Structure 1
Amino acid sequence: MLEKMLTINPILLALLATLFTWFMTALGSAMVFFFKEINKKLLNAMLGFAAGVMIAASFWSLLSPAIEMAEKRGEIGWVPALVGFLGGGAFLYLLDRILPHLHMGLEIDEAEGIKTHLQRSILLVLAITLHNIPEGFAVGVAFGVLANNPTTGALAGALALALGIGIQNFPEGAAVSIPLRREKMSRLKAFNYGQLSGIVEPIAGVIGAYLVFIIEPLLPYALSFAAGAMIFVVVEELIPESQLGHETDMSTLGALLGFAVMMFLDVALG
């Protein structure tokens, strides 16, 4: 099965994988048709789980392979890891300063980015869209590796990353659409906005795969770049939002579970 998949163009594989992660976002967003409210503890646990998955993926699927690739080329392993990691964080910082968005649990006058008159619901969706960009890019880069390293191990690692991101996208989709329902939005509109927040993942995924496909020396930097961008999202958004309120045990346990699940997927499958 894996051997046959290796004959498929890596960019096409990246597109299919990120379409899967988008589909999982849409599936989670569909929970708005069944629930009008979401328990605060459950929401915190979902956000914590997403944070745990992204932290684990940043190391096991991105930074560690980047260091190994650089060392195999005779380079100093930590150089591309450090440069790419800080570059990814800086890129997300700039996007965070430019793109108008609002984090969950905050008032509209606390919106970040360029000041606009967009509705609160749109600003909430843009916040989730912002952090889906590095997720899609990371999956795309992982499949782009196959262009120069077409092994079953590399493919299994990329599939594990896509599966992990997809799993955490399900509760994330629900965490977007159900709060939008509380904003007096119709169920259908809340679902549409929720799933649209994930549509950037296939776009970012194809871009990531294409870049490393045509510029092979960029690969360790691209992997590290994706890791830095994801860690920025985790620290700037997911962890603070998961800790809102007085009871934070569920979000902490969710983060531990998310990390464990992603670590298992990457080590066992990759």
Structure 2
Amino acid sequence: MHIGVGADPHISLALPPDAKLERERADEPSFRHLDSDEMTIRIGRSGPLSDKSDNGDVYQRRRGAHTASSDGQDTGSKQQEGVGQTGSSWRRIVLLILAITIHNIPEGLAVGVAFGAIGKTSSASFESARNLAIGIGIQNFPEGLAVSLPLRGSGMSTWKSFWYGQLSGMVEPIAGVLGALAVVLAEPLLPYALAFAAGAMVYVVVDDIIPEAQVSGNGKLASWTSIVGFVVMMSLDVGLG
């Protein structure tokens, strides 16, 4: 028989060796059987059976929830900024389309007046009216691109962008018919109408297109293209009379 050290001597004498060893193992602290992951998370209270409300797993859960809410707020602010930028881009596109459409009206009036005034004066001839129509028709190509390309860049389909670009120029034939019918009243207003059309386009280019090109990094290209455009139009004006 063996006498167990640290145990009750009466119980040690009564128990066999195997039962005594099992009882000594049972008296050892129970934290040896806890999971290692749980011990690394619980950093609050010193005991192995501490309440979970004071331990590190609750802190980790709270910290994770706070991090998720912060990420949600950042995502929401980024979405609001994106919506604001999209609205601003659409406002610029609408402004450009309206400016081009409005400035096409006096151009159509000019063509209509030129054809309606044939034979009324010595300077009004078919050749001059035809040359005016050709010059306005040539400069309508970049105007249609100025409407179609921003719409295509904003996500609209190719055919819809092309269609809206054509619609912006549909006011010219209508204005041409009205100008031919009212040639007597429109002829004195023709220089003012053409000046208004040119001023509208110059304003849109200087106020909107060139600053947008500077922001996107194409400032030099836009400046040289504007110069080339002025040279071409002046050449057409001199060459076609």
Indicate the TM-score class for this superposition, using the shorter chain for normalisation.
0.5 to 0.7
Q: Work out the CA distance in 1 between the residues paired with 2:131 and 2:166.
A: 22
State the shift of 1:110 in Å: 9.1
1:202 to 155, 165, 173: 173
Relative to the length of structure 1, the TM-score reads: 0.48
CA contact (8 A) 2:210 2:222 kept: yes
Higher radius of gyration, 1 or 2: 2
CA contact (8 A) 2:119 2:125 kept: no
Q: Work out the CA distance in 1 between the residues paired with 2:158 and 2:90.
A: 24
Instruction: Specify the alignment match of 1:66 in structure 2.
Output: none
Q: Work out the CA distance in 2 between the residues paired with 1:231 and 1:123.
A: 16
Letter of the aligned partner of 2:209 in structure 1? S
2:209 to 242, 257, 265: 242
Letter of the aligned partner of 2:194 in structure 1? A
Decide which moves more: 171-180 or 192-201: 171-180
CA contact (8 A) 1:180 1:190 kept: yes
2:120 to 148, 157, 161: 148
Instruction: Provide closer, same or farther for how the CA distance between residues 207 and 138 of structure 1 changes in structure 2, counting only shifts above 3 A.
Output: same
2:200 to 230, 233, 256: 233
Letter of the aligned partner of 1:204 in structure 2? A
CA contact (8 A) 1:160 1:269 kept: yes
Letter of the aligned partner of 1:193 in structure 2? Y
Q: Work out the CA distance in 2 between the residues paired with 1:255 and 1:154.
A: 32
State the shift of 1:131 in Å: 2.1
Partner SS for 1:198: coil
Q: Say whether residues 1:135 and 2:107 are aligned partners.
A: yes
Q: Work out the CA distance in 1 between the residues paired with 2:157 and 2:89.
A: 25
Q: Work out the CA distance in 2 between the residues paired with 1:208 and 1:191.
A: 27
Relative to the length of structure 2, the TM-score reads: 0.52
Task: Select the structure with the greater relative contact order (CA < 8 A; seq sep ≥ 6).
Answer: 1
CA contact (8 A) 1:160 1:266 kept: no
Instruction: Provide closer, same or farther for how the CA distance between residues 268 and 157 of structure 1 changes in structure 2, counting only shifts above 3 A.
Output: same
2:222 to 229, 235, 251: 251
Instruction: Provide closer, same or farther for how the CA distance between residues 248 and 159 of structure 1 changes in structure 2, counting only shifts above 3 A.
Output: farther
The 5-angstrom pairing of residues 1-270 of structure 1 reads 108=87, 125-149=97-121, 154-212=125-183, 215=184, 219=187, 221-244=188-211, 245-246=213-214, 247-270=218-241
Report how many residues are paired. Answer: 153
Instruction: Provide closer, same or farther for how the CA distance between residues 253 and 110 of structure 1 changes in structure 2, counting only shifts above 3 A.
Output: closer
Seq. identity, %: 47
In the TM superposition, what whole-angstrom CA distance separates every residue of 1:31-54 from its partner, at most 9, and x where no partner exists? xxxxxxxxxxxxxxxxxxxxxxxx
Letter of the aligned partner of 1:243 in structure 2? I
State the shift of 1:191 in Å: 1.5
Q: RMSD between aligned alpha carbons? A: 3.1
Instruction: Provide closer, same or farther for how the CA distance between residues 237 and 124 of structure 1 changes in structure 2, counting only shifts above 3 A.
Output: closer
In the TM superposition, what whole-angstrom CA distance separates every residue of 1:214-249 from its partner, at most 9, and x where no partner exists? x26x52x22212223213312321332332233544
Q: Work out the CA distance in 2 between the residues paired with 1:109 and 1:180.
A: 14
CA contact (8 A) 1:160 1:265 kept: no
State the shift of 1:264 in Å: 2.8
Letter of the aligned partner of 2:101 in structure 1? T
State the shift of 1:179 in Å: 1.5
